[in-house]
A and B are shown apart, each in its own frame.
Chain A
Amino acid sequence: MKISKEQVEHVAMLARLELTEAEKETYTEQLNSILEYAAVLDKLDTKDVPPTAHPLPLHNVFRDDVVKPSISQEEALANAPDQEDGFFKVPKIV
């Protein structure tokens, strides 16, 4: 077993996902079988291989900082689950 139920609970906390007991059991089992499958990569010696994070050799794409039209406050708030006085409204944070 590469990953325990306690680790699944920890990962769920990091991912901000509330899981049921049944989901914890299922994901523990399924993540283990996927990670076991992924263990085949350990066969390869990659000590001197550089990582590829991106398929194109593009670096730091810059543009001039020019003010352009953007969406209005109303449009930005139009999809908000809750709002008040032009702000997004959320439950108490601290």
Chain B
Amino acid sequence: MDLTQLTAHELSDLLARRETSAVELVKAFSDRIDQVEENVKAFNILTRDKALEQAAKLDDKLARGEKPGPLEGIPMALKDNMCTKGVPTTCSSKILKSFVPPYNATVVERLAQAGSIMLGKLNLDEFAMGSSTENSAFAKTRNPWDLERVPGGSSGGAVASVSADEVVFALGSDTGGSIRQPAAFCGVVGLKPTYGYVSRFGLIAFASSLDQIGTLTKDVTDCALVMNVIAGHDPKDSTSAPVDKPDFTKSLINDIKGMRIGIPREYFGVGIDPEVDKVIRQAIAKLEELGAVVEECSLPHTEYAMPTYYLIAPAECSSNLARYDGVRYGYRAPESGDVVGMFKKSRAEGFGPEVKRRIMLGTYALSSGYYDAYYLKALKVRTLIKQDFDQAFEKFDLLLSPTAPTPAFKFGEKSANPLAMYLSDICTVPANLAGIPAISVPCGFADGLPVGLHLMGKAFDEGTLLRVAYTFEQNTDYHKVKPSLGVK
């Protein structure tokens, strides 16, 4: 049996029965990393020594007859934009290359309390800005299904590590699709929770009204288990929702009879790959066969979501990234004259091209004379987009679309044209604008590359998403197919 192919709940059963140990797990995943990481390049940093120490302590505890918790002893890793005390947190940016946080993000604390074992930090598009992980200042993470293709982004390292069995699960962040689009590209389950469900404390900010931490797992059950640990109110995050969290595993019900699913026709418009369209239509037929009531619907303001997003996200980014000034932490350019010269040079040398482009765009959209025309206008259209969803959810329990209009693309295919790259997030961005939860689950293949089924739900109704995703998964085998780690 190859331990690295198992899910968290399967490994947890083995640990509870003492058929494996936490140390054995860390070693197995460590060997797997040695075997595939040269090709995948998912990690910015590995923390294997710490992981082994932590695993040995846990094994002592288990030897005394204590039962492990659901995620205890489970090897995982984090997108490198979540602060880890004493472990570098870089955002895959030159400007934070040497930053070592003095504190842990709330999700890091919660996973540590649950006994999960961190194997390292994972590559991303610089500051989570991108859709292919090609914007990392350090490395190009590759898609385990075809090493000549991108893993998607911005959580490219996180999804690739799960897809290639280097870890059991990972945490990513999603501002406009950064968990779901790569999850679709690499054939894993990716959930962006409702805005405010998971604390953002210690998540290095990109666009604060859109950013949300979520899960990357090998199946829907693991998604529920990880949510049970990371969700819930956090007094350290003033935008954290003051709601009680349910036991998400209670939603793992293999039954969707009578569930009302809306298919927004705008998500199947121009630009959708015919093979992707075919796979999604098959998935819809499967859900109907399982008892769901499916009906086409309309979200009329969908075409405005991308331009709205590409004004709001850069505006918030330009404000959030003003803190990188070379004074308290981060890169400072040598010999840069007076203090303003030091700011300008440090930022010029520290940030990569996409980050600078967004800072420029956002600064312009917020600047005197243009604020009303661009930023305020976008906020108003955001209201209209949110209202589209409110109206649709009066009639439907959830909405269904492809996660991305195409399968994974090749390196360099879209990097010369920012707009072409932005459009790969066209199906995922509206959920961030509306603050609602959405999940991508594997639903088939287009020319041998994974395709993701995208389900969007009502705010704080992750339960319905999990139930439909779980039912689909229990009645299909797509999540069991493993990547070749070769070139197609």
| A residues lining the B interface (CB < 8 Å) | 3, 7-8, 11-12, 14-19, 23, 27, 30-31, 33-35, 37-42, 44, 46, 49-56, 58, 61, 63, 71, 75-76, 78-82, 88, 90-93
Q: Which residue of B lies closest to A62 (CB)?
A: B238
Among B301, B336, B339, B351, find the residue whose CB has the most chain A CB atoms closer than 10 A: B339
B364 an interface residue at 8 Å Cβ cutoff? yes
Q: Are B364 and A11 in contact (CB-based, < 8 A)?
A: yes
Q: Are B342 and A91 in contact (CB-based, < 8 A)?
A: yes
Q: Are B332 and A17 in contact (CB-based, < 8 A)?
A: no
Among B331, B378, B433, find the residue whose CB has the most chain A CB atoms closer than 10 A: B378
Query: What is the bound-complex CA distance between A2 and B386, given in angstroms?
Result: 29
| Chain B residues whose C-beta falls within 8 Å of the C-beta of A63 in the assembled complex | 235
The answer, among B239, B241, B363, for a CB contact under 8 Å with A11, is B363
Q: Are A91 and B336 in contact (CB-based, < 8 A)?
A: yes
Query: What is the bound-complex CA distance between A11 and B370, given in angstroms?
Result: 12
- B162 CB to nearest chain A CB (Å): 27
The answer, among A14, A40, A71, A90, for a CB contact under 8 Å with B304, is A40
- B460 CB to nearest chain A CB (Å): 10
Query: What is the bound-complex CA distance between A17 and B329, given in angstroms?
Result: 18
Q: Are B386 and A34 in contact (CB-based, < 8 A)?
A: no
- A49 with B363: in contact, given A55-B386, A91-B336 (CB under 8 Å)? no
Query: What is the bound-complex CA distance between A16 and B340, given in angstroms?
Result: 7
Q: Are A18 and B241 in contact (CB-based, < 8 A)?
A: no
Q: Are B356 and A90 in contact (CB-based, < 8 A)?
A: no
The answer, among A27, A51, A54, A80, for a CB contact under 8 Å with B328, is A80
Query: What is the bound-complex CA distance between A42 and B325, given in angstroms?
Result: 35
Could you list 19 further interchain pairs (A-B, Cβ under 8 angstroms) beyond the known A38-B378, A55-B209? A14-B367, A16-B343, A17-B356, A33-B418, A35-B361, A35-B374, A40-B307, A51-B379, A51-B380, A52-B379, A53-B209, A55-B433, A55-B434, A58-B238, A79-B330, A80-B327, A80-B328, A88-B328, A91-B339
The answer, among A27, A75, A91, for a CB contact under 8 Å with B337, is A91
B348 an interface residue at 8 Å Cβ cutoff? yes
Q: Are A91 and B338 in contact (CB-based, < 8 A)?
A: yes
- A17 with B339: in contact, given A30-B357, A50-B380, A55-B434 (CB under 8 Å)? no
Query: What is the bound-complex CA distance between A35 and B361, given in angstroms?
Result: 9
Query: What is the bound-complex CA distance between A42 and B359, given in angstroms?
Result: 23
| Chain A residues whose C-beta falls within 8 Å of the C-beta of B418 in the assembled complex | 30, 33-34
Among B378, B380, B386, find the residue whose CB has the most chain A CB atoms closer than 10 A: B380
| Chain A residues whose C-beta falls within 8 Å of the C-beta of B338 in the assembled complex | 91-93
B109 an interface residue at 8 Å Cβ cutoff? no
- B57 CB to nearest chain A CB (Å): 25
- B461 CB to nearest chain A CB (Å): 14
Interface readout for B371-382 with A: 1 if CB under 8 Å, 0 if not?
A: 000101111111
| Chain B residues whose C-beta falls within 8 Å of the C-beta of A52 in the assembled complex | 379-380, 382-383, 386
B195 an interface residue at 8 Å Cβ cutoff? yes
| Chain A residues whose C-beta falls within 8 Å of the C-beta of B102 in the assembled complex | 71, 75-76, 78-79
B311 an interface residue at 8 Å Cβ cutoff? yes
Q: Are A16 and B347 in contact (CB-based, < 8 A)?
A: yes
| Chain A residues whose C-beta falls within 8 Å of the C-beta of B238 in the assembled complex | 58, 61
Q: Are B209 and A18 in contact (CB-based, < 8 A)?
A: no
B308 an interface residue at 8 Å Cβ cutoff? yes
Q: Can you spell out 26 A-B residue pairs with CB atoms less than 8 angstroms apart?
A: A3-B364, A14-B367, A15-B360, A16-B343, A16-B344, A18-B344, A19-B356, A23-B356, A27-B357, A31-B357, A31-B361, A35-B374, A42-B377, A44-B384, A46-B377, A46-B381, A49-B383, A50-B380, A51-B383, A52-B386, A56-B241, A63-B235, A79-B99, A79-B102, A80-B327, A80-B328
| Chain A residues whose C-beta falls within 8 Å of the C-beta of B340 in the assembled complex | 16
- A15 with B359: in contact, given A3-B364, A33-B419, A79-B98 (CB under 8 Å)? yes
Query: What is the bound-complex CA distance between A33 and B311, given in angstroms?
Result: 13
The answer, among B337, B361, B433, for a CB contact under 8 Å with A34, is B361
Q: Which residue of B lies closest to A3 (CB)?
A: B364
| Chain A residues whose C-beta falls within 8 Å of the C-beta of B325 in the assembled complex | 16
* Residues 74-129 of B contacting A (Cβ, < 8 Å): 98-100, 102-103
Top 6 nearest A-B pairs by Cβ distance?
Answer: A55-B435, A51-B379, A79-B329, A81-B332, A46-B380, A18-B344
Q: Are A37 and B310 in contact (CB-based, < 8 A)?
A: yes
Q: Are A31 and B347 in contact (CB-based, < 8 A)?
A: no
Query: What is the bound-complex CA distance between A61 and B326, given in angstroms?
Result: 31
Among A7, A16, A31, find the residue whose CB has the most chain B CB atoms closer than 10 A: A16
Q: Which residue of A lies closest to B101 (CB)?
A: A79
| Chain B residues whose C-beta falls within 8 Å of the C-beta of A61 in the assembled complex | 238-239
Query: What is the bound-complex CA distance between A44 and B363, given in angstroms?
Result: 23
Q: Which residue of B lies closest to A27 (CB)?
A: B360
| Chain A residues whose C-beta falls within 8 Å of the C-beta of B384 in the assembled complex | 44, 46, 49
B410 an interface residue at 8 Å Cβ cutoff? no
Q: Which residue of B lies closest to A12 (CB)?
A: B360
| Chain A residues whose C-beta falls within 8 Å of the C-beta of B379 in the assembled complex | 51-53
